[in-house]
């Protein structure tokens, strides 16, 4: 079994990291609480006049490297490896890639070791990547092709409308093995 794992929102806690950075930079304006998140892209949950501020946060040096792991995600990856699965990281960098790309690698190295970075696949179009399952918090993963993987959406307030083939939390990912 080949499992493609999205990085942000699946392994790295982008959502909480964003709120932490926002509070530090804009102490006068509360960030949108996780339970109130509706749009997949953070910036779309903010009014138009604040969107440049939102994008500046995750384009800043240190943002991606400093993200905390999503609870249970590191353990789940180790369990997948122990079960003999081929695990790859399938991640789409932001357009302001200068810090994002290298820091994504650094993040993976920090949590899984240097050799694990060989498992990274950076693609803006995940439909071009083959696998059995794609675990992704994006409610709709579209691209140039019909994907060969099945999509398991990692449950989040902003993806409740998703029609993915499965919905999991890190506590329940093993349900995929029965499909």
Assess 9 for contact with Mg ion (CB under 5 A): yes
Choose one: 1-9, 17-25, 74-82, 155-163; the region binding Mg ion (CB under 5 A).
1-9
Nearest one of 100, 87, 73 to 155, comparing CA atoms: 73
Query: CB of residue 21 vs Mg ion: minimum separation in angstroms?
Result: 17
Question: Sign of torsion, CA 37 27 66 50?
Answer: positive
Query: CB of residue 140 vs Mg ion: minimum separation in angstroms?
Result: 12
Which residue of 3, 4, 5, 6 would you call a contact of Mg ion, by CB under 5 A?
6
Q: Report the distance separating Cα 5 and Cα 28, nearest Å.
A: 36
Q: Report the distance separating Cα 10 and Cα 77, nearest Å.
A: 11
Question: What residues contact 120, with CB distance under 8 A and at least 6 apart?
Answer: 88, 89, 91, 104, 105, 108
Residue with CB nearest Mg ion? 9
| Catalytic site includes residue 45 | no
Q: Which residue, 41 or 145, is less far from Mg ion as judged by CB?
A: 41
Q: Which residue, 8 or 13, is less far from Mg ion as judged by CB?
A: 8
Contact between 15 and 142 under an 8 Å Cβ cutoff? The reply is no
Query: CB of residue 156 vs Mg ion: minimum separation in angstroms?
Result: 9
Span 94-153, contacts to Mg ion by CB under 5 A: 137
The CB density around residue 132, as the number of other CB atoms within 10 Å, is: 15
Binding residues for Mg ion, total number by CB under 5 A: 4
Query: CB of residue 113 vs Mg ion: minimum separation in angstroms?
Result: 22
Q: Which two tokens stand for residue 148?
A: 């060969």
Choose one: 7-15, 26-34, 41-49, 162-170; the region binding Mg ion (CB under 5 A).
7-15
Question: Sign of torsion, CA 93 172 2 39?
Answer: negative
| Catalytic site includes residue 8 | yes
Q: Which residue, 26 or 40, is less far from Mg ion as judged by CB?
A: 40
Q: Which residues of this protein are in contact with Mg ion, per CB under 5 A?
A: 6, 8-9, 137
Active site residues: 6, 8
């Amino acid at each position: 079994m080949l499992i493609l794992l999205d990085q942000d929102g699946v392994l790295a806690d982008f959502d909480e990291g964003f709120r932490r950075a926002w509070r530090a930079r804009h102490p006068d304006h509360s960030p949108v609480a996780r339970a109130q998140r509706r749009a997949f892209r953070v910036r779309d949950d903010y009014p138009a006049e604040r969107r440049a501020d939102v994008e500046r946060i995750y384009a800043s040096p240190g943002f991606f490297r400093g993200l905390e792991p999503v609870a249970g995600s590191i353990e789940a990856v180790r369990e997948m490896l122990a079960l003999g699965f081929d695990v790859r990281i399938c991640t789409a960098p932001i357009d302001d890639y200068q810090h994002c790309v290298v820091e994504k690698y650094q993040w993976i190295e920090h949590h899984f070791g240097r050799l694990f970075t060989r498992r990274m696949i950076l693609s803006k179009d995940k439909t071009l990547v083959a696998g059995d399952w794609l675990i992704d918090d994006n409610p709709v993963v579209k691209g140039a092709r019909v994907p060969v993987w099945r999509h398991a959406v990692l449950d989040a307030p902003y993806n409740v409308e998703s029609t993915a083939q499965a919905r999991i939390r890190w506590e329940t990912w093993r349900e995929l093995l029965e499909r």
